[in-house]
Amino acid sequence: MKALLSDQVADFFADLQSIYNVRVPVLLPDGTRSFGCFGAAPLALLGGALPEKPTSAFFPHSDIFFTAGSNSIQVQAPLSKPLLIAGFTPSDLKSLRFTDRFFDDGLRDDIYFRLRKNAVIVAVSGYCLPDGALIPPAGGGCDLELVFDGSIWFIMSYSETGSKITAELPDNVPEEIVGPLPQETCFILNEDEELIKKAASILRNDLVPDSFWEEIGDKCILCTSCNLVCPTCTCFGVQDWRYGEAVERSRMWDSCQLSGFMREASGHNPLGTEALRTRRRIHHKLAADPLQWGEISCFLCGRCDAACPTGIGILAVAREMVHRFG
């Protein structure tokens, strides 16, 4: 088994920079954490899920499709080095799997897979929450997993690429340590998962009155934070910009909470009220996606509940639904 002391982790990522474009959790000047290029700021693996959408590494806020001139079309060049992204939680890995399925369904999205192809995913788990609490190990769904036991980072390889990356590391786990974490920690009951399933059942059985959505919608201030941080929100708009003789086509994230999201050219808007838009946001994740994809598309990362300034993240709304109509 491979392992690193805390003061060896930075060297581990530094050695990978010749092969990969390494992005890791970094500490910002204001004390918050974010995904950043390795070496641009202090490494900050501890702290749990990062605030931003982890899938934005492959589906960025704004992305150029191509630039067309009078006699040529220029598309995005291939990456000089594949990405290596560290800092995914087990919940993030589920979100990434779902997003991969979405962009590979029907017509494969070449813009997304230009970044996703050959990318190395490194999960972070163990006793690494702010209070030292446990994130249970993912046990797969990534190339590598760094599992923190409180003093040592164990490195688990789950792919051929992961094994190649760790091949040169010594087997240096002390003999008295049997494994990274007790096995039973991988089977902690997730009460939030049961809550989401109950809320999904309530929605499927049409037990939520319109008055509830009006009440929740009245709290929405259209900040769109819920969509901006959700790993499985994939809506975008496409626009063309003219610069002299050249036209640039790009896409940018859209939000189902904005009034123009589904407004038609005629002026009709099937989601013309905030109550309808809020209902769609929750219904989409908990009821519509299970019909289309076979699973609820909220993987309980907690980002929307943390980001929403008025307390109507998906877990908060689900808890209220279960309390009133369950």
| pLDDT value, residue 169 | 84
Cα dist. 71→68, 74, 241, 247 in Å? 8, 10, 17, 12
| Per-residue confidence (pLDDT) for residue 77, from 0 to 100 | 84
- Domain shared by 129 and 159, yes or no: yes
What confidence score (pLDDT) does residue 210 get? 96
Asked if residue 234 and residue 149 are part of one domain, the reply reads: no
% of the chain exceeding 70 in pLDDT: 94
Residues 69 and 7 both lie in one domain? yes
Q: In this predicted model, what pLDDT tens digit does every residue of 184-235 receive, in sequence order?
A: 444 444 789 999 999 999 999 999 999 999 999 999 999 999 999 999 999 9
266 and 162 share one domain: no
Do residues 163 and 272 share a domain? no
For residues 172 and 277, state if they share a domain.
no
* Strands 21-27 and 83-88, bridge-based pairing: parallel
Looking at the structure, tell me whether residues 160 and 208 fall in a common domain: no
pLDDT at site 99: 97
Choose one of 148, 167, 187: the last residue of a domain.
187
Residue 76 and residue 152 share a domain: yes
148-to-60, 190, 191, 211, 298 alpha-carbon distances in Å:
29, 21, 24, 47, 26
Rounded Cα gap, residues 27 and 197, in angstroms: 35
pTM, entire model: 0.91
Among 144, 166, 187, identify where a domain stops.
187
User: Which pLDDT score is estimated for 186?
Assistant: 44
pLDDT under 50: residue ranges of the chain: 183-189
- Residue 185 is predicted with a pLDDT of 46
**Statement to judge: residues 57 and 142 lie in one domain:** yes
* pLDDT value of position 172: 64
Looking at the structure, do residues 108 and 221 belong to the same domain, yes or no?
no
Question: What are the phi and psi torsion angles at 158 (to 5°)?
Answer: -125, 5
Structural domain range at position 242:
191-325
Question: Within this chain, do residues 32 and 143 fall inside the same structural domain, yes or no?
Answer: yes
Residues 6+ apart with CB under 8 A from 209: none
Tell me which residue of 263, 301, 260 sits closest to 89, measured CA to CA. 301
Number of domains in the chain: 2
